[in-house]
Structure 1
Amino acid sequence: MPIAINSDEVLTPPVAAATVMVVRDGPAGLEVLLVRRHGNSGVLGGVHVFPGGKLDAADRRTDPAALDRPAATCLAGLGEPGLDVDTALGLHVAALRETFEECGLLLGQANGARHVQPVREQTATGIAFAAALQAQGLPIPTACVLPWSRWVTPRVPSVTNKRFDTRFFVAVAPDDQTVEHCAHEATEAVWLPPRTGLERYWAGEIDLAPPQIMSLSELSRLADVAQVLATARSRPPSLIEPEPFDEDGRRVICYPGDPRHSIATRVWPGPTRLLHRNQRFEPENGLAALLG
């Protein structure tokens, strides 16, 4: 379904959120997990996205004693001046929680498959995700979600009427677990090579929002999980503040490194702008620009 363009300014501050690009090595190379949001969802209905969601108050209240490493290490990994340690920890917990809630995956747990149902039963009663892990004698494995990028929705969002400050993480899929998408929030979960995801988008088989388009473009240049993890560990998370403008009656979103963006330094090797045409967002030079 076509993505409607928003032109209203949002005056409220962006909501903190976390999303996870769960990756694995498939027969043809790197694969990433995408879930299709319900068509009646208030945010990006019908669009294929990475699992994720808003930071909950309970995520910030996680017991530091249950962590696999000091909370200060979580803060340092995000590399954000002015960010407090509770929020940094909460974002890592939110990444783990949302992946479990939307896909049924317990990331970073040895033999985690046998704990999926007990944790699900406890969280269904209202127990916080981190507390449910503790009740099973499991650590809070913050080290398994590696910061990748930070996307801050502009004051005039293009594809929603809400603003988010979303930290993108990467994580390796557990070998012993099977994806089970949340029937309340999604209609399917699929593993796709990043290149295939972009090709299916270009063919009109799936819908993608700009952050997913550009993130898949980045991942399409990496061969396997080892390269993804090495890339995440080699640099601080990229700060991406899209700057939209209208030109010739259509929306254009530019990114760092674009001549129209306020930041001259590129954050990825792919295209620096997307144009809304053909009822979707596309790079000026077509699919080849996304695939490099």
Structure 2
Amino acid sequence: MALDIHLTALDGAPLPSATVMLLRDAPAGLEVLMMRRHGDSAELGGVYVFPGGKLDPTDLGAAAQHLDREAEHLRAELAEPDTPVDTAVGLYLAALRETLEECGVLPGAQLDAAGLVAMRHRLAEGRSLMDALAAQGLRAPTASLVPWSRWITPRLASVTRKRFDTRFFVARAPADQDAQHDDHEATEAVWLTPHEALQRYWDGAIDLAPPQIMSLSQLARHTQVDGLLEAARQAGPALVQPEPHDHEGVRVICYPGDVRHSVREPVWDGPTRLLHRNGRFEPEGGLAALLP
């Protein structure tokens, strides 16, 4: 299924969102969890993504006793001095909540299957993550999340009908928690090495959106979770504001470091643009350009 591509002008501020790239070490190398969005989803139906979603009002207003770290530390870690502290904290909570809701995993928490089910049940009732954690005698395990990047949808969007301001986090998946799709927002949960995910995309077996393509390309440059997490801590989150345009009938999305992007300093190694051709987004140079 090809993505529906339109160069559409979008109004309004982008919606604060959070997503988590859950990682684990495996015999084949570092693997990341990917979820196939329900085919009827209004945004990116059928596309393989990382767990995540919009900031919810219940994610805001966390008291200090609900957190494992100070609120100001979380904002500093995001490297967003202009973001309100409550919003910064809420983004971490949204990342944890969405991951628990969508795949039944809570990074950084020691919970058995019954505890995870009980927490998901409370969330399904509309209770906050703080409430669900308190019922288990836990604080929000924000230390399990390391900021990776921040993607802001441009006003001229290509593959979504809404604007998002999404913070991408990386986290080690707990070894004793099994990821399972929720059969509501997602219909499949699969562990893949970044190389395998990109190869499947190239072979037409799965669909990916540009943020997932470029994120997988960066994950593919690491072989172990520890090394990746340490690299993320050292580098800090990259700010990515894609700039799309059409050139001779081809949609082109440029990223920092590209000659057509307003920011000339690259934020990652590898390609700085994707072209929509052959019914998908691909870099100049093909699949090899996405891999180390």
Q: Same fold (TM over 0.5)?
A: yes
Matching residue's letter, 2:20: V
Give CA-to-partner distance per residue, 1:171-227, whole Å, 9 cap, x none.
000111111111111110000000000000000000000000000000001011011
Tell me the percent identity: 59
- The residue aligned with 2:32 is 32
> Where do 5+ consecutive residues of structure 2 fail to align?
none
- The residue aligned with 2:247 is 247
Shift of 1:12: 1.1
Shift of 1:5: 1.1
Matching residue's letter, 2:108: G
Report the 3-state secondary structure (helix = DSSP H, G, I; strand = E; otherwise coil) of the residue aligned with 2:9.
coil
Output the CA distance in 2 between the equivalents of 1:164 and 1:144.
23
Report the 3-state secondary structure (helix = DSSP H, G, I; strand = E; otherwise coil) of the residue aligned with 2:211.
helix
Equivalenced residues, count: 292
Matching residue's letter, 1:30: L
Matching residue's letter, 2:61: R
- The residue aligned with 1:148 is 148
Native 8 Å contact 2:22 2:32 kept in 1? yes
TM-score (normalizing by structure 2): 0.98
Task: Determine whether 1:193 maps to 2:193.
Answer: yes
- The residue aligned with 2:208 is 208
Native 8 Å contact 1:106 1:112 kept in 2? no
- The residue aligned with 2:77 is 77
Shift of 1:135: 1.4
Report the 3-state secondary structure (helix = DSSP H, G, I; strand = E; otherwise coil) of the residue aligned with 1:25.
strand
Output the CA distance in 1 between the equivalents of 2:109 and 2:255.
36
- The residue aligned with 1:265 is 265
- The worse-fitting range, judged by mean Cα deviation, of 176-185 and 146-155 is 176-185
TM-score (normalizing by structure 1): 0.98
- The worse-fitting range, judged by mean Cα deviation, of 7-16 and 148-157 is 7-16
- The residue aligned with 2:8 is 8
Matching residue's letter, 1:58: T
Report the 3-state secondary structure (helix = DSSP H, G, I; strand = E; otherwise coil) of the residue aligned with 1:97.
helix
Report the 3-state secondary structure (helix = DSSP H, G, I; strand = E; otherwise coil) of the residue aligned with 1:19.
strand
> Where do 5+ consecutive residues of structure 1 fail to align?
none
Report the 3-state secondary structure (helix = DSSP H, G, I; strand = E; otherwise coil) of the residue aligned with 2:167.
strand
Shift of 1:112: 4.6
Output the CA distance in 1 between the equivalents of 2:126 and 2:211.
31
Matching residue's letter, 1:47: V
- The residue aligned with 2:222 is 222
Output the CA distance in 2 between the equivalents of 1:113 and 1:228.
28
Output the CA distance in 1 between the equivalents of 2:118 and 2:5.
42
Are the structure 2 counterparts of residues 95 and 112 from structure 1 closer, same or farther at C-alpha, using a change threshold of 3 Å?
A: farther
Report the 3-state secondary structure (helix = DSSP H, G, I; strand = E; otherwise coil) of the residue aligned with 1:88.
helix
- Indicate the RMSD between aligned Cα atoms, in angstroms: 0.9
Matching residue's letter, 2:32: V
Matching residue's letter, 1:123: L
Native 8 Å contact 1:106 1:113 kept in 2? no
- The residue aligned with 2:175 is 175
Matching residue's letter, 2:210: P
- The residue aligned with 2:43 is 43
Shift of 1:6: 1.7
Give CA-to-partner distance per residue, 1:272-291, whole Å, 9 cap, x none.
00000001100010000001
Output the CA distance in 2 between the equivalents of 1:82 and 1:124.
32
Matching residue's letter, 1:146: V
Shift of 1:114: 4.2
